[in-house]
């Protein structure tokens, strides 16, 4: 319950700003007489999907030799089909716009179905070597299936699976675990991260511009920005040779573009991503230039300068805009 809001509603009702019909449900919610368990249901569904996929992963690991690929592949396909069938019945038909309020449970059943398809494709490929040396293409196939289902069922969660699968096909994990990789492969992974990031950002902009699923744009753009900045930061921080400075220039240039665009569009999260990336780039230069206490003082001073700049920009990023 929220006593401040209860008091405000009583005042608004007294002043005639809210009618009785308007005020009554608002007041019940503020008093805690009516509460929504939507978040709890979502959490239960999410936890359920996590447990099922984990259980199935363990099942495949422990039983694949006993049951054989045909039985397991069929079982997974049937389970995925059942999930998709449920989603098909419950979720609204295709539209290029947002489908609006969807069926809460069906969203997660759809997600489970997509994950089962991915697991099935991966399992069959590993067992039967259908694609031979081109085995990573099963990730692309999984990505395309998820992409189509995301658009058909208007699911941002499934779209994020499609995009991460696509990146995985190119050898890029969204966690960007460059450190765990062999140094000789890092340039290739970085190039793929940058290419995927640019592609995702372009797709996001195209979504918004063409009004084809414009609400998918943040998913595209944020994943794209993470990959782009991740790639550039590993170049700036990880390159032992003089090339780090080129990566640094590219990082600061991209961060400037993102900051300017996010400022114009009043998007606090994208603005913050851009500023953080530029800030880390700035720290890289400072650490390169100085190695003693004066370096730390410069870091402190430059951080304060960045905060001052942010304060000047902050009116545009207010919570209620």
Partner 1 sequence: MNAARVEASRRAEVRSAARAWRRAGAIDAATLEHIEAAWPEGRPRMAAAWRVLIFVIVTVAANALFFAVATLIHGESGPGPWLFFAVCLSAATEILLHRSAIGENGSAAATSFWSVVYAVVGIALVEDAAAAGAESMITVSLLAATALFALAGWRWGYAAYGVCAAAAFFLLLARLPEGRILWLVAGAALLAAAYRLQGLRSLAPSHRRAAGGILLVAAAAVYVAVNRYSLDAHSIEALRHGAGTFPQPAPALGVLSAAATAVFPVLLIVWGLRSRRLLVLDAGLAASALSLATLRYYVHLAPLWAVLTAAGGALVLAALGLHRWLRRAADGERRGFTAHPLYGRGGRGLEAAAVVAAFAPAARPAPAPEPGNLTPGGGRYGGGGAEGSF
Instruction: State in angstroms the smallest separation of the CB of 8 from partner 1.
Output: 4
Closest distance between partner 1 and the C-beta of residue 51, in Å? 3
Nearer to partner 1, 248 or 270 (CB): 270
Sort residue 92 into left (φ over 0), alpha (ψ -120 to 50) or beta: beta
Contact 201, 221 (CB under 8 A): yes
Nearest to partner 1 of 15, 242 (CB atom): 15
Q: Residue 242: exposed, middle, or buried by beta-carbon count in 10 A (0-12, 13-18, 19+)?
A: exposed
Q: Identify which of residues 59 and 88 has a Cβ nearer to partner 1 in the complex.
A: 59
CA neighbor of 151 nearest in space, from 219, 82, 199: 219
Shortest distance in whole angstroms from residue 231 CB to partner 1: 13
**Nearer to partner 1 among residue 182 and residue 241 (C-beta):** 182
Q: 189 or 194: whose CB is closer to partner 1? A: 189
Nearer to partner 1, 23 or 250 (CB): 23
Residue 260 has a CB neighbour count (10 Å cut-off) of 12
Residue 113 to residue 87: CA distance in whole angstroms:
9
Pick the closer one to partner 1 by CB: 202 or 300. 300
How near is the Cβ of 249 to partner 1 at its closest, in Å?
22
**Nearest distance in Å: CB 213, partner 1:** 14
Angle subtended at Cα 48 by Cα 32 and Cα 61, rounded to the nearest 5 degrees: 165
d(CA 171, CA 159): 18
| Neighbouring residues of 221: CB distance < 8 A, sequence distance ≥ 6 | 200, 201, 204, 205, 270
Name the residue among 141, 137, 135, 142 with its Cα closest to residue 161.
142
**Least gap, CB of 248 to partner 1 (angstroms):** 18
* Whole-angstrom distance, CA of residue 190 vs CA of residue 234: 8
Instruction: Give least dist CB 301 to partner 1, A.
Output: 8
């Amino acid at each position: 319950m929220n006593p401040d809001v209860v008091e405000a509603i009583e005042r608004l009702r007294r002043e005639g700003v809210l009618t009785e019909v308007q005020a009554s449900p608002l007041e019940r919610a503020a008093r805690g007489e009516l509460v929504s368990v939507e978040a709890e249901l979502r959490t239960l569904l999410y936890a359920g999907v996590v447990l099922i996929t984990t259980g199935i992963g363990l099942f495949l690991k422990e039983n694949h030799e006993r049951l054989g690929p045909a039985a397991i592949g069929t079982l997974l396909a049937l389970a995925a089909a059942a999930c998709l069938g449920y989603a098909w019945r419950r979720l609204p038909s295709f539209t290029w716009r947002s489908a609006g309020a969807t069926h809460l449970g069906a969203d997660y059943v759809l997600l489970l179905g997509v994950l089962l398809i991915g697991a099935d494709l991966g399992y069959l490929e590993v067992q039967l070597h259908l694609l031979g040396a081109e085995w990573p293409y099963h990730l692309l196939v999984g990505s395309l299936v998820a992409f189509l289902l995301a658009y058909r069922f208007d699911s941002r969660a499934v779209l994020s699976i499609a995009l991460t699968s696509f990146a995985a096909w190119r050898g890029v994990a969204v966690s960007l675990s460059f450190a765990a990789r062999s140094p000789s492969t890092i340039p290739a992974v970085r190039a793929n991260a940058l290419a995927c990031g640019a592609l995702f950002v372009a797709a996001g902009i195209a979504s918004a511009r063409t009004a084809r699923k414009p609400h998918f744009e943040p998913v595209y753009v944020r994943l794209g920005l993470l990959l782009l900045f991740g790639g550039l930061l590993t170049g700036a921080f990880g390159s032992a040779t003089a090339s780090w400075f080129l990566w640094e220039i590219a990082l600061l240039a991209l961060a400037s573009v993102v900051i300017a665009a996010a400022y114009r569009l009043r998007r606090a999260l994208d603005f913050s991503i851009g500023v953080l990336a530029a800030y880390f780039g700035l720290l890289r230069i400072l650490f390169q230039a100085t190695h003693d206490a004066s370096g730390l003082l410069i870091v402190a001073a430059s951080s304060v300068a960045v905060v001052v700049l942010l304060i000047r920009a902050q009116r545009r990023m207010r919570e209620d805009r």
